[in-house]
Amino acid sequence: MVDIVDATTRSRMMSGIRGRNTKPELVVRRFLHRSGFRFRLHDRRLPGRPDIVLPKYRAVVEVRGCFWHQHPGCHLAYMPSSNRAFWKKKLEGNATRDLRNETALKAKGWRTLVIWECEVPQDKALHRLARQIRKLATNRTT
């Protein structure tokens, strides 16, 4: 697939992409807040500074972009056709970092829940996330 913009424009566009407060993350945060959950954001004390931290449940929610974290089987998780070596290394590095952070969180007694960018528009996925969090609360007390 040939890029439809020149290299300078593409570079400017890519530099504008940020890892915090993305649209999918804001949707999840609004939903969780409306559902009665209270949380912290990007807690520096935890490995990887998770997107959403629910201290009451000792759980974190990671809102992952399908492209950046290579969601298996997702149409958004494609490999760019230009500069493939760079992208392969970059995207594999993201997956390795995700696994390292999840392992470190688990070692500290935290549970990680993941919701993918492609799932966020689906109310069913958001409700499933809320059920998973509530289930963690019942598991803690027993």
> Is the distance from CB of 61 to CB of 113 less than 8 angstroms?
yes
Closest CA to 130 of 39, 64, 15, 21: 39
Does the pLDDT at position 10 exceed 90?
no
Task: Return the pLDDT at 7.
Answer: 79
Find how far residue 23's CA is from the centre of its chain.
11
Q: pTM for the full model?
A: 0.83
User: Which of the two residues, 21 and 131, has the higher pLDDT score?
Assistant: 131
Domain 17-141: CATH architecture, name and number where available? 3-Layer(aba) Sandwich (3.40)
Inter-CA distances, 29 with 3, 10, 100, Å = 33, 30, 24
